[in-house]
Amino acid sequence: MKLHVKKWLLACAISAALAGCANDGQQASALPQGISFIEEVAQAENQVSIPYKKYQLANGLTVILHQDKSDPLVHVDVTYHVGSARELAGRSGFAHLFEHMMFQGSQHVADEQHFKVVTESGGTLNGTTNTDRTNYFETVPSNQLEKMLWLESDRMGFLLPALTDKKFEVQRETVKNERAQRIDNRPYGRLNERFNQALYPAGHPYSWPVIGWPEDLDRATTSDVKHFFQRWYGPNNATLTIGGDFDEAQTLAWINQYFGEIPRGPEVKPDEKTKVTLDSTRYISMEDKVHLPLLYIGFPTVYAQHQDEAALDLLANILGGGKTSLIYKNLVKEGFAVQAGASHPCQELACQLSLYAVANPAKAASLADIEAKVNQTIAEFEQRGVTDADLQKVKVQFEADTIFGMQSVQGKVSALAANQTFFGQPNMIGSDLARYANVSKADVMRVFNTYIKNKPMVVMSIVPEGQKQLIAHADNFEPTMLPIAQEAVTGLTQTALTTSSFDRSKMPVASAAPLLTVPKLWQSQLENGISVMGTESHETPTVELLIYLDGGHRLAPLDKAGIADLTASMLNESSLKRSSEELAGALDMLGSTISFGASSSQSFIKVSSLTEHLDATLALVEERLFSPGFLQADFDRVKQQAIQGLQHQLSDPNFIASSGFNQLLYGRQNPMGVSSSGTVKSLSAITLDDVKQYYQQQYRAGNAQIVVVSDLSQQQIQPKLAVFSTWQGEATKVAQLPAALSHPKNTVYLIDKPGAAQSVITIGKPSLSYDATGDFFKAYLMNYPLGGAFNSRINLNLREDKGYTYGARTVFNGSEDSGEFMAYASVRSDVTADALVEFVKEIKTYQTEGMTENELRFMRNSIAQSQALEYETPYQKAGFLRMIQRYQLDQDFTLKQDEIVDRITLTQLNQLAAKLLNMDDMVFLVVGDKASVEPSLQALGYQVETVTLAD
């Protein structure tokens, strides 16, 4: 499909104008009192657009409705125009804290009921906060829409009566745990908050982190939080966007009923957009628990939707957007960096052009060398200029990304909501496409000269602890600490209390669940016997094609662990005909992606393409798959990147925990006990000849199966797959797994992570292999109330009641011939032993007493109705097909699962819990600071044994 941008814009403008004039009187007479019709944008024929109708309530709430009948679901999004930018100095973290508070019940919704209602309705939910907005969203079967409006309206209008000191304290601890997990305990986790202090002036609303400074969270009070809510969470500062399959008249009536009585909040004015400038280059640095030094450079530029934004995006892409970029050529290709790139992230008030490079110590002596290379690259761009290919590549990519972003109702609703919130115009696809289509070479050079050339920047060095000598330049900047604001908000005015003309305590009753249509599948075989499974999807003119090859890490000898990943990486490089950069450039011009990869039991090729470019994309797949270059220079670089990347992962406690747990369960002589990433020793031993040999074993037709989801019919797409018909080779036999290891009881294994802010706890044992309708599936049902849902026993205990963690889960994982039960969480270091006690208590109680009748009812309702969400996007459909194909399932296996969910008894589930959750069989692993956690673990009576990962 070709995008005729100007024609599309004209069609939309005419469509919107006609719709507005023609329907205005009709809409006004039919609408509930208090709702005003604003505009309608219809579907432009054969063009990319998101049709919608826009309304406004008398209290200022903006409502956007987008009809999409393709799946029996609805996505509800409430976006408030408040993020961390609305906070004051010394009062950071309120917007994000409120994201948590809004899930803790309101006047007519009980504690923890929000998650329970949505989950039991078969839906998913979440909330996110950034610098400029906070949004809350649910995706549910279409019959549950009224219930979602009841929930969202109650927390908009009736939150404060239910906001208690206890809830506030628990959520403050939860936010601290989130910060510890996502920032303090993650390599390079503090990069952005430190960098933004230097890039933005003191007091600028982007100069503090969204999650807040810990000391600001500590000084916050319940009154502060209430005032923040009263100031910013009124309907006049919110947009309600609904997309999916719903009755429009009924939905408007519900919206008016539930939201219409909520009074306006204080007036909200847009924040001022002042240009950020630097007087001189600022150097900052920090030591971190990392393996590889990182250099991060930023230039302040404009703000979102500024006339120069699109040209700056193109400039960033030319400098560091993938394998065709200058930064890739000069830093990654030359071996100075393991990773490097550039981008131009934009926010409502400010943008920055950012460049980063993770140094390769084997070639870059210090970050000063990296900074010099970046500066040389910028100078090279000035000499090189902009090519026609540069412009075309970015424009095609933008068009393709726009189309792929519309594959889900959530994607379309999110775009409408964001555009309305920040720009007052939900429909900006056409204008955005036009912005990029109209960028010229001169525009790119102009913004380069205006914002980048010889301009001051912020240069940040992050180096391993004790290696300060590696920084690019001595620090010359310290952030200015402003006085703490006396009040948490300004501009707060007295608002009327919400009263209701109906009984809000009565939760709406959902109508009958919508009929679910499982994707219609087709199956065939290529001439060489490769099985193909496909289905049609007409949401977007796109193709998702996946080739799976049995083997993966399991096919590799243990002393060559990591070779599956390494071989896949080599297939992403040069072919015999073209370099990796030339191949990447060809893909960029199509807006397509081709990715070779590997996992524990299979290798795979993932292909995403616009339908009109499928033939050209498949030709590139064919070239890479059947004519790999396997160049020594590529191999040397890719191998070095893999080794350095693994060493970087070994600074991440979650990777350590995952690898260490598998090693304990299966041992170092079992492929399941060795990470598919390999070890430094095994990667170092792999040669290019080893890769060529593995390629011959793995990439054979006999190992391959194909899944395809497209807007094309079987008859249309089948001939296009003929490129794989000449593929030869018998299936390669994969060896059986050795038996899992046994471990002594009452032992906690400990991997030392000195100074860790959190401990990663993993408890589990080998368990059931996968089956779709047997004990594995039944174990999934049994586990749901224990640790499978957000409002499970374990998560409510450790997160909501105790405040020990950001999240705790239990899960059964299974493949063809292996499986595990796992319970895991990242917890505050000081409560490691206490958290372990709670894990054991909950699992033991569940094993002996089982689930309750209420939990059984909750599980049945949740799982039975959630299927409406499972087949929406092409990629979800591909996953469904792959399950059938991989495990040789009947096409109606979901009907059999429905029967099991409906008929399984409490006794059967509790017998399964008693059988599968015996604590005496469990292995306990803690990754944390040994000096601080070992004594408390020993005090519980455990034998503590320190272990290490295989080198």
Q: What is the pLDDT of residue 274?
A: 85
Q: How far apart are CA 302 and CA 450, in angstroms?
A: 11
Return all residues near 215 (Cβ < 8 A) that are at least 6 apart. none
Q: What is the pLDDT of residue 21?
A: 34
List, run by run, the mean pLDDT of 10-residue segments along the chain (951 residues).
29 31 46 93 78 96 95 95 94 90 91 91 93 96 96 95 90 88 89 96 94 91 91 96 96 97 94 92 96 96 96 96 94 94 96 96 91 97 94 89 88 95 92 91 97 98 96 96 89 81 93 83 95 92 96 95 97 96 94 96 96 96 97 96 92 94 95 94 97 98 97 95 95 92 94 93 97 96 96 94 93 94 96 97 97 96 86 87 92 92 97 96 96 96 94 79
* Alpha-carbon distance values, 823 to 772, 787, 813, 856 (Å): 22, 8, 11, 21
pTM: 0.92
**Four-CA torsion 177, 178, 183, 187, nearest 10 degrees:** 80
Q: How far apart are CA 925 and CA 946, in angstroms?
A: 10
Q: In what order do the strands lie in the sheet with 352-359?
A: 282-288, 458-464, 294-300, 352-359, 337-343
Q: What is the pLDDT of residue 46?
A: 66
The half-sphere exposure of 647 on its side-chain side, counting CA atoms within 13 A, is: 20
User: Measured on CA atoms in the order 778, 781, 786, 789, is the torsion positive or negative?
Assistant: positive
Residue 676 is which amino acid?
A: S
Q: What is the pLDDT of residue 837?
A: 97
Fold of 522-724: Cytochrome Bc1 Complex; Chain A, domain 1 (3.30.830)
The model's pLDDT over 562-585, given as tens digits with 9 standing for 90+, comes to 999 999 999 999 999 999 999 999
Q: What is the pLDDT of residue 19?
A: 34
Q: Identify whether the C-beta of residue 760 lies closer than 8 Å to the C-beta of residue 928.
A: yes
Q: How far apart are CA 915 and CA 917, in angstroms?
A: 6
Question: Where in the chain do CATH 3.30.830.10 domains reside?
Answer: 50-259, 282-404+435-470, 522-724, 747-946
Q: What is the pLDDT of residue 365?
A: 86
Q: Identify whether the C-beta of residue 361 lies closer than 8 Å to the C-beta of residue 388.
A: no
Q: How far apart are CA 916 and CA 921, in angstroms?
A: 9
Return all residues near 35 (Cβ < 8 A) that are at least 6 apart. 55, 56, 57, 58, 63, 252, 255, 256, 260
Q: In what order do the strands lie in the sheet with 62-67?
A: 35-41, 52-57, 62-67, 238-244, 73-80, 134-141, 124-129
Q: How far apart are CA 125 and CA 119, in angstroms?
A: 8
Both tokens assigned to 468:
């300060």
- State the Cα angle at 499 between 497 and 500, rounded to 5°: 160
Q: Identify whether the C-beta of residue 592 lies closer than 8 Å to the C-beta of residue 608.
A: yes
Q: What is the pLDDT of residue 247?
A: 95
Q: What is the pLDDT of residue 560?
A: 96
Q: What is the pLDDT of residue 30?
A: 80
The model's pLDDT over 197-227, given as tens digits with 9 standing for 90+, comes to 999 999 999 999 999 999 999 998 999 989 9
**Which helix (H) or strand (E) covers residue 620, if one does?**
helix 614-626
Q: What is the pLDDT of residue 757?
A: 87
Residue 318 is which amino acid?
A: I
Q: What is the pLDDT of residue 498?
A: 75
Q: Identify whether the C-beta of residue 251 lies closer than 8 Å to the C-beta of residue 145.
A: yes
Q: What is the pLDDT of residue 29?
A: 53
Q: Length of the chain, please?
A: 951
282-404+435-470 to CATH, choices 3.10.20.30, 1.10.3720.10, 3.90.850.10, 3.30.830.10: 3.30.830.10
50-259 to CATH, choices 3.30.830.10, 3.90.1150.10, 2.40.30.10, 3.30.420.40: 3.30.830.10
The correct answer on CATH 3.30.830.10 for the domain covering 747-946 is yes
